[in-house]
Amino acid sequence: MSALDLLCIAPHRDDAELTCGGTLIKAVDAGHRVGVLDLTQGEMGTKGSAELRAAEAAEGARVMGLHVRENLALPDAGISNTDDTRGRLVQVLRRLRPRVVIIPAPRGRHPDHRRTTELARDACFLSGLAKYQPGDHPAFRPFKLLHVVTYREDAVKPSFVVDISAQFARKLEAIQCYGSQFDGTTQAGEVYPNGEPLYDIVTHQAAHYGSLIRVQYGEPFYTDETLQIDDVTSLGVSTF
C-alpha cells in the first residue's frame, strides 16, 4: 500500500466528517492520498447500531473520495491510552505511513475524544521507535500532527483555517450520510445545540470559521509548534 499524505484519526464514525471533512475532501481534490482511521464502531450510540454506522461510514468515505477507511474496533465510550492500544495504533501507522495526521482538539466533551488525542499523539511518537513493539512494518513517525478544533472555541485559538468553500457542499453531503445519528437532531459530538437543526449549525459554524480568513466556509486547526513563514509579503487575510 502506498503511503498516505493525510490521515485523520477519529474516535467515532462521523467525527471526521463533522470536524474536518472539508479539509479531507480538499486534500483528495489536490491529488493527495487521504485516509480515516475510526477508533470505535459506535456500539454504545443511543441511535442506530454498529452495523448501520459501518454502512454510513462507507458511504461517507465514498462521498469524500477517501483512499482508505479503517476501524480499530476499540470499545466505544471506553477508549484508553494503554500499552495495548498504543501498540495496535502504532502498527496501523507504520503500515499506512501518513505524513500528516489530524487528531481531535486538546479538549473535548466526550471522554473518547480527549483520550483519542492523548493516545494518537503517543502512538505517533512511539511508531518511530524501532525497538517499540516491532512487527511486519518498519518504524515510521509522521511529520506533522494537527488538532482539529472545529466547534471547540473554548479550547485554543486556531493556528490556521483551511478554506473549504469549494468543498463545503460535499462535506455536508458526507455528514448527511449518517442519517441514523443526525436527521432531525440539534446536537451531536462536539456540536452544542442552539435550537436549530444540526445541519444548519454545521453550516453556520463553517461560515464563522470562514469569516476569520475572509472566505465563505472554513475549518480551524491548531498546532503546538510555531508555523514557519518564508515570505511575509505573500501572507493572506486582509487586516482591514
Burial group, residue 25, by CB count within 10 angstroms (0-12, 13-18, 19+):
buried
Asked if 29 and 213 count as a contact pair (C-beta separation under 8 A), the reply is no
- What percent of the chain lies above the pLDDT cut of 70? 100
For the segment 167-190, what is each residue's pLDDT rounded down to a tens digit?
Answer: 999 999 999 999 999 999 999 888
Q: Does the structure show a pLDDT above 90 at 45?
A: no
Number of Cβ within a 10 Å radius of residue 24: 30
Name the amino acid, one letter, at 112. Answer: D
Looking at residue 117, what is its pLDDT? Answer: 97
Quote the CA–CA distance of 167 and 159 in Å, as a whole number.
21
pLDDT mean over 198-208: 97
- Name the CA dihedral angle for 215, 219, 220, 224, rounded to a multiple of 10 degrees: -130
Please compute, for residue 138, the number of CA atoms within 13 A of its CA located in the half-sphere on the CB side: 1
Residues with Cβ within 8 Å of residue 30, at least 6 apart in sequence? none
φ and ψ at 131, to 5 degrees? Answer: -90, 0
Q: What pLDDT does 43 receive?
A: 87
Tell me the pLDDT of the chain averaged across its residues. 96
d(CA 144, CA 35): 15
In the chain, the percentage of residues whose pLDDT exceeds 90 is 91
Distance, C-alpha 113 to centroid of its chain: 11
